[in-house]
Copies of this chain bind each other. A is one copy, B any other.
Amino acid sequence: MNESSIFPERGRCRVVIENVAPEIDSGRFAAKRAVGEKVTVEADVFMDGHDSLSTILKFRPSKDSQWSETPMQFLGNDRWRGEFIVTEPGVYFYTIEAWVNRFESWQKDLQKKVDASQNISLELQMGAELIEARKQHAPAYDAERLQGWANELNSGNSATGNPLAKRALDKALTELMSHYPDRRFATTYEREMRVRVDPVRANFGAWYEMFPRSFAPEAGRSGTLKDCEAQLPRIAKMGFDILYLPPIHPIGKSFRKGKNNNVVCEPGEPGSPWAIGSDEGGHKSIHPELGTLDDFKNLVSRAHEFQIELALDIAFQCSPDHPYLHEHPGWFRHRPDGSVQYAENPPKKYQDIVPFDFECDDCENLWLELKSIFDFWIGQGVKIFRVDNPHTKPFAFWEWCLGELKAKNPELIFLSEAFTRPKVMYRLAKLGFTQSYNYFPWRNSKAELENYFTELTQTPVAEFFRPNLWPNTPDILTQFLQANGRAAFVIRFILAATLGASYGLYGPAFELCENTPREPGSEEYLNSEKYEIKHPDLSAPRSLEGLIARVNQIRRENPALQSNSHLRFHHTDNPELIAYSKSTDDGDDTVLTVVNLSPYYTHRGWLDLPLEEFRLDANKTYQMHDLLTDARYFWKDGKNYIELNPEKSSAHIFRLRRHVRTEHDFDYYL
C-alpha cells in the first residue's frame, strides 16, 4: 500500500445507514418511554448494487452493558424497522448495524438461475466455499453440520433440476448460516441514540392540585398538612393518582400581596405560597401554620395507603425575606442603590419576588444549592415534582440538575410548568422534563384540538414531549370555563381525561365549577386561593365528584386510555362533534370518545369509523358500550349516528366490544 493513509477507515463497509428514527436533534437528546413500553426504531439501510443485507437493532440498558441484538425487518423503499421493550427505568442506548449477507445473496441468485434452468455446477461450489469460510466461526457441533452441507453441495454433478439445488436453498441451511454472519465489513450507525425510561406514572396519571391551607375543618383558620389527610379518602374516591400541593414553605412578609393580588396586604392575610422564604426558613422548611416535617412525612405515608403519590411544587425564586438573601447575596442582582433587584416584567413589578441571577460569578454554588432542594424533598419521600416557570431559568441548569437527579433515582417525575413559546416548551421536554403543561387550556374548537393533538402525538414531538392536560390551574380560569356554566367543566374534563393519559385538575375550584374571573377579560380567579384561605363547600350539588370518579375508574380499567401513542381522530359530519379513539398496542382494548363541544345545544351527526383498523368485520354487528351511562349500542358498518344533548350528557366514552352474540352462540342452534 503506497499511500495507505488516504484510504478511509471503513472504506470496505458498503452498507449505508441513515435517517434513523427516533433520533432527536442528531442524538443530542434521548427519546422517552415508560417501563414496559416498546421502542420502535426505523432507518434507511441500503448499499450499492443488488446484494442482500442483514440489519440488526442493537440496544442495551446502560452504557456499560452488553449489546442485545434483534433483527430489523425490511419495509420496502430501503426502510427497515425493529423494536425492543424497555423494562428498567434509566437510560437505554441503541444503534443499528448492517452488513452484506453474501450467503443470502448467493441463494437469491441461485434461485433465479434454477428458475431459468441454468447450469449451476459452479454456483454450488461457490456456495460450498461460502459455507466452509464460516465454519471456523462456529462451535464444533455446528461446524460439523456446516461441513456436511458444504460436502453435500460439492458432492454431485449439478445439472439443472439437480436435487442439490433444492438442498442449497433449504431454509434450514439459511437459518444455520445466519448464526455465523461475516460482519468484518459491517457498518454501525455513526451515533448511539438514547431512550430515557421513566416509571409508568410518567405516562399515565390523574393529578389533583389543592391548597392545604383551605382544608381546615372549620372556617377562619389555616388548614394544616394533618387536615389534608382527612381529604385523602375523598381524593381517592374521585380516583386521583397524584396529589399535588403548591409550595408549603414559609411565606415572605415584605411586600406580601393581599387578597386579589393587592399590593396592600391587610394584617392576617396569608400571602402567596410562591413568595417563598421568611425568617421561618426557606425552600427546605415547612410553613409553621401547615405543620412540621413529621406531619409532611405522615401525609406522604397516609397518601401511599390510598395509592396516591404526593407531588411538590418547586419554585426557584425567593421572597425578599428568604434566608438566601443574606446568606448568599451574590446569587442576586443588586441595583446601583444597593437594593436587591426584584422580579419585573416591565412595566409590571413583583416586589414580593426576588429572582436568582444565574449569570452570577457564584453560579456553580447556586446550582448545587438548588439541586440540594430536590435532594432534600426526595429524602422525605417525594418522587414527583411540578416545577414552576422553568423557562425563566437556564436550559443548561435544568439539563444538568435533572440529569444528576435521575442518574441517582430514575423513578423521579418532573412536570414542567411552562406555558411559553412552543420551541421553549419543547426544549425543556427534550432536556429532561418528564411531562409538560401545554396549550390544551386554549384549544377549544374541533379543528384546534385535532391539529394540536395530532402534532403532540403523531409527529416526532411524541418521542420527547408528554403532555399533561389541565383544564384549569390557580392561574388559569379560561374564558370557555367562565362563560359556559357547568357543561363547560364537563366538556373540558372529559377532553382532558380521555385525550391525555396524564391530566390534572385544580380543585376544588374545578369540581365545584367555580367560574368567576377577577375582572372581565382576565383569566385570574376572583378571590383567588393564591392570596387567601378558603373554606369550600365540597358537598354542593353542582359538584362533579361523581363524574370524575366514574371517568377515572374508566381510565384505570381501560389500558387504551393509559397512553397517547394510538390516538386517532375520526371524521364526523358535524363540526361540534369531535370523535377520537385510543387503542392498546395489541388492539385488544379500544376506547372511542365522542364529545359535543357545545355546552348549550344538542348536536347530532354521522360518525365514520375505520373498521379495518378496529379489526371489525363490515358484515358483523359490534357493540359500543358507553362506559359513562352503561348504555350499549349495536352498530354495523363504519357509519353510525350520534346525538348528544349537553343537558343529559356531553359525551360518550365507548368501549368497543367486538363480539355480539347471535344464534350461532346459542347452544342448541347446531
Q: How many A residues touch the partner, as a band?
A: 35 or more
CB contact between A396 and one of B8, B49, B345, B347 (< 8 Å): that residue: B8
Q: Looking across the interface, which residue of chain B has its beta carbon closest to that of A359? A: B12
Checking B11, B112, B347 against A113 with a beta-carbon cut-off of 8 angstroms, the contacting residue is B347
Q: How far is the CA of A6 from the CA of B1 in the complex (A)?
A: 47
Interface string of A114-129 (1 = CB under 8 A from B): 0110100010011001
Q: Given A77-B421, A346-B109, is A48 in contact with B392 using a C-beta cutoff of 8 Å?
A: yes
A56 to B397, CA, bound (A): 24
CB distance from A4 to the nearest CB of B (A): 6
Cβ-closest chain B residue relative to A187? B396
What residue of chain B has the Cβ atom nearest to residue A23's Cβ?
B26
Q: How many copies does the complex hold?
A: 2
Whether a CB of chain B sits under 8 angstroms from the CB of A44 is yes
Chain B residue numbers with a CB within 8 Å of A116 are: 346-347
Report the minimum CB–CB distance from A653 to chain B (whole Å): 36
Chain B residues with CB under 8 A of A394:
11-12, 14, 47-48
Give 20 CB contacts A-B under 8 Å.
A6-B368, A6-B400, A8-B396, A8-B400, A11-B364, A11-B397, A11-B400, A13-B396, A14-B394, A14-B396, A18-B25, A19-B423, A48-B394, A77-B423, A109-B344, A110-B346, A116-B347, A122-B335, A125-B335, A129-B336
Interface: A134 (CB within 8 A): no
For chain A, residues 27 to 83, give those with C-beta under 8 angstroms from any C-beta of chain B.
27-28, 44, 46-50, 77-78
Known: A12-B359, A126-B335. 11 other contacts (CB 8 A): A4-B364, A11-B364, A12-B363, A12-B394, A13-B396, A48-B392, A49-B391, A50-B392, A77-B421, A112-B347, A125-B336
Minimal beta-carbon separation of A182 from chain B (angstroms): 10
Q: Which residues of the other chain, B, contact A404 by a CB distance below 8 angstroms?
A: 6
Give min CB distance, A212 to chain B, whole Å: 30
Given contacts A421-B78, A423-B78, contact A367 B7 (CB under 8 A): yes
Q: Which of A190, A346, A363 has the most CB of B within 10 A?
A: A346
Task: Kindly state the separation between the CA atoms of A12 and B360 in the bound complex, as whole angstroms.
Answer: 9
A635 to chain B, nearest CB (A): 37
| Chain A stretch 358-391: residues in CB contact (< 8 A) with chain B | 358-359, 363-365, 367-368, 391
How many Å lie between the Cα of A344 and that of B123 in the bound state? 13
Contacting residues, chain B, for A18 (C-beta < 8 A): 25, 423, 427
A108 proximity list for chain B (CB < 8 A): 346
By a beta-carbon cutoff of 8 Å, the part of chain A in contact with chain B is 1-4, 6-8, 10-14, 16, 18-19, 25-28, 44, 46-50, 77-78, 108-110, 112-113, 115-116, 118, 122, 125-126, 129, 185, 190-191, 335-337, 344-347, 358-359, 363-365, 367-368, 391-397, 399-400, 404, 421-424, 427
- Nearest residue, chain B, Cβ from A431: B16
Q: Which of A28, A48, A109 has the most CB of B within 10 A?
A: A48
Cα–Cα, bound, A55→B45 (Å): 37
**B2, B346, B363: the one within 8 Å of A112 (CB):** B346
Q: Name the CB-closest residue of B to A44.
A: B423
Residue picked from A11, A28, A368, most chain B C-beta under 10 Å: A11
- Please determine whether A46 and B424 come into contact, CB atoms closer than 8 angstroms: yes
Cα of A153 to Cα of B11 in the assembled complex, Å: 65
Query: Bound state CA distance, A78 and B421, in angstroms?
Result: 8
Chain B contacts for A47, CB-based, 8 A: 394-395
Check if B396 sits within 8 Å of A346, measured CB to CB.
no
- Given contacts A48-B395, A347-B115, whether A365 and B400 have CB atoms under 8 Å apart is no
B185–A359 CB distance below 8 A: yes
Query: Quick check: A396 and B1 within 8 Å, CB to CB?
Result: no
Min CB–CB distance A31 → chain B (angstroms): 16
* Beta-carbon contact of B359 and A118 below 8 Å: no
Q: Which residue of B lies closest to A392 (CB)?
A: B49
